[in-house]
Structure 1
Amino acid sequence: VKMTTAPYNYSYIFKYIIIGDMGVGKSCLLHQFTEKKFMADCPHTIGVEFGTRIIEVSGQKVKLQIWDTAGQERFRAVTRSYYRGAAGALMVYDITRRSTYNHLSSWLTDARNLTNPNTVIILIGNKADLEAQRDVTYEEAKQFAEENGLLFLEASAKTGENVEDAFLEAAKKIYQNIQDGSLDLNAAESGVQHKPSAPHGGRLTSEPQPQKEGCSC
């Protein structure tokens, strides 16, 4: 394998967090997205788990760094520290358990208070494969999402339905925010790192550029 190509095979890193009640399938969604497998009998996450995957958005390769947080109340203090500098947040509930849906406003309050104003939040109704046990309608969740300016999808970590789309839709929106200038890449809290690849055969130089006289730019 020739290693003459750019030092990175992606142009951006986006930081994501996954939040929501215990047992809604946050870890299973992450596992399905990164490993393309369903993890039955997921143990409850203690603190925070981590996964990555490189995707393509508008022809650009983007590495997603995904922090999967524990849903249990006793870990709330630990997990809150991971909200900082998240470019995207997947807020998950279980369509078969109304209590997990009812708690969304509390998760949303945390997300809004602890992330930056441009963080893209996508609402995910997981376990869409369990239609017979449905306890929350698609319509009401969609309305909640619209009222709160969230993207929304129902997904199934078990069948893989819409899992890919959930992570991709958020990435597309983040990328769009970068393109239209509403997301400042230089802000420490943006949750995005730009990694320009070296020109072919060239090297990334760190030589200081000559200063123009009287220019304060």
Structure 2
Amino acid sequence: MLLLDVQVDIDPAKEDILNEWYYAHVPRLVSLPGYESGRRYASLTPGPRYLALYEIRDESYLPSLLGDDPSLRQPLTLSEWSRWEKDLVPHMSHCRTNLYQAPNDLSLPLLRSAPAIVTVRMDCRDGPAALAAIGAALNAFVSTELDVLGVRLLQAASDPAMAWLGTTPNALLIVECAGSRSAREIALRTGPAADLLDALAAQATARPQAVAYERIADHRLPAGR
């Protein structure tokens, strides 16, 4: 299971155009074989204004969806990328696309339909060993926080065909929350969340970047497809 992660800041004068495009774009992608869901979020705390997360079933679909060889891609993905790069990217002050995977073979889905999330981006010092230490901290945190619906810790995708994305940092933590208030508190390091982020910082090369988001769109694979 993989997660395509897209962060965007755009000129406020072009924000309506971006949102208009996205509301059609996400369902189009989810209609393609390999995509399981697409969700959009708007920031609640300082950080990139918009976030889009797409679940991809497995690596076998990457060449047709995101691969570095355009001749292997689905025509729809080519047309969507073309519009994105021509009409939207020139108006963006921040645009970052990453691809992450679960450290183990995690079954679907990677994400619930939580109303709010926190993304924590970090570079781990010691690879798998650091991820294991972080996992222990996460389990302890979730057991004490009723407003946290789930936690996913992902690492940069290893497929060579995806090297063109240059995924950084090498780890992405997603904390799914029952509401916006909980997400804000975690991102701003208040309450028990400060202990969680301190535990993460001990395993990172730099201070983890935490941003809270509220969900603004949710498109999933049609039942029975």
Q: Same fold (TM over 0.5)?
A: no
Higher RCO structure, 1 or 2 (CA under 8 Å, sep 6+): 2
Higher helix share: 2
Question: TM-score, normalization: structure 1?
Answer: 0.28
Higher strand share: 2
Of structures 1 and 2, the larger Rg is shown by: 1
